[in-house]
Amino acid sequence: MDLNTIERNETDSASQSAAAASAPAKKVFVKTYGCQMNVYDSQRMTDALAADGYTATDVIADADLVLLNTCHIREKAAEKVYSELGRIRDMKAERAAVGREMLIGVAGCVAQAEGAEIIRRSPAVDLVIGPQTYHRLPDVLARVRGGEKIVETEYAIEDKFEHLPQPKRAEMIKRGVTAFLTVQEGCDKFCTFCVVPYTRGSEVSRPVAQIVAEAERLADAGVREVTLLGQNVNAWHGKGEDGMEWGLGRLLFRLAEIPGLARLRYTTSHPRDMDDELIAAHRDLPALMPYLHLPVQSGSDRILKAMNRRHTAKDYLALLERIRAARGDIALSGDFIVGFPGETDADFEATMGLVRQVNYASAFSFKYSPRPGTPGADMPDHVPEAVKDERLQRLQALLLKQQQDFGLGLVGSTIDTLIEKPGRQAGQKVGRSPWLQPVIVDEMAGEIGDIIRVRITKTGYNSLFAELA
């Protein structure tokens, strides 16, 4: 390249920068549905759009671009998205009447599953973008402004990880002292009730160097606690800094070496990928919090086989015995589906028996609902809704009692709490216990980001109250 070309490029760049600085800031409103990975993805979308001149807003009426980052796990997820799009369409029409543009985009797993059908059913939508392609948003928006309707759902996950945008340090500081960090995406398990393999693709692990670099940036911005995310996070594996193949346990030890990073968590796990090294990390790594989300879904071996979970209730209980032997204060969380096709009263009672045996500190439970394209949707003997309702109420009552008993068992104990944010009431701050409960303390107990020693004095419905120890 000759000198004249360099000078011309520098002049053009300076002119573009000046124009961008003088142009009114565009605003993006992102509504996030579903899991923690969607929360992480929404932040990365905002980061990608910052380079295109967008700033985030919490007020949808102010937005020049509205993005719905969707989840396909819950019942009638797509219909809820279409209902929301109807409301936004009317807002877009009102804006157009006064000469102001509002672009509408659908991202995430419903976007991946529905594709062009979204634009067919909701013509006001300008773009549909799958969960692996949001780093391409600036290019997609340029095409939209050129008059195209864009459906961008073809992907390679490796491409996404390679091009994850890096947020500015100031933006990272605003996000607080806890953060999510995606290390793995997709799933190869193909549980018969689940759409994740079809919307997120096969399992892909993010490289160690990328993970460590992002964790270091988070720590530099004041983050004290990081939760590693993946649809099947404990299946993560990658080439380490020593050239050897690492598993999640080894990665956790490496992340614990980062100055300022005091706490580590990970979610969501599959029982079949809980290896010896990861269990040893729970035993030997103080930074790894004593809380494990390990879904079982059912206590009936017959239903587990129909779900293609590839473990039995006995396998699951034996694994928990090993984990609890390694870390005595570990608290268990789980996922349960009631009313899977063919579930009998005896199958459901097996689930209740497993819950009583495990004694969960918290759990998520749902009625089975068919997902189009999954094997479960085509199975015979679907359970009547009234039966599913009754079973879910019984299960949730038992799980709630176990959760409350776990909290009551902490009263009088002394624990470490990470102060996370101001409280809802004046004079309070909210911390986070090692077991993920909110901990309410006096605002003078410490500054946000401090890890303080407190004594639990009482419990609330979902929280703990404490005083300085």
pLDDT-derived band of residue 15, with 50, 70 and 90 as boundaries? very low
Beta strand 464-468 with 438-442 is: parallel
Residue that the structure tokens 């807002």 belong to? 91
| CA 140 – CA 399 distance, rounded (Å) | 45
**Where does 2-103 have alpha helices with state H?**
3-22, 36-50, 77-97
Average pLDDT over residues 437-445: 96
pLDDT digits (tens, 9 = 90+) for 146-185: 899 999 887 665 566 776 667 667 676 677 999 999 999 8
| Number of Cα atoms under 13 Å in the Cβ half of residue 185 | 26
pLDDT at 156: 62
| CA 421 – CA 428 distance, rounded (Å) | 9
pLDDT-derived band of residue 284, with 50, 70 and 90 as boundaries? very high
Question: Is the pLDDT confidence value at 243 over 80?
Answer: yes
User: DSSP assignment, residue 463?
Assistant: -
pTM, two decimals, is: 0.84
- Higher per-residue pLDDT: 7 or 416: 416
Q: In angstroms, how far is the first alpha carbon of the chain from the final one?
A: 67
pLDDT-derived band of residue 76, with 50, 70 and 90 as boundaries? confident
Fill in the amino acid letter for 353: G
The CA distances from residue 281 to 211, 272, 275, in Å, are 18, 17, 10
Residue that the structure tokens 């759409």 belong to? 195
Q: At 229, which helix (H) or strand (E)?
A: strand 225-229
The CB density around residue 376, as the number of other CB atoms within 10 Å, is: 21
Q: At 198, which helix (H) or strand (E)?
A: helix 196-199
| Number of Cα atoms under 13 Å in the Cβ half of residue 342 | 15
Q: Which of 70-84, 156-170, 258-272 has the lowest mean pLDDT?
A: 156-170
The CA distances from residue 392 to 144, 338, 368, 385, 397, in Å, are 45, 6, 10, 10, 8
- Quote the tokens at residue 161: 């990880």
pLDDT at 340: 98
pLDDT at 18: 42
Fill in the amino acid letter for 315: D
pLDDT-derived band of residue 134, with 50, 70 and 90 as boundaries? confident
Nearest to 376 by CA among 245, 243, 192: 192
Average pLDDT over residues 211-217: 94
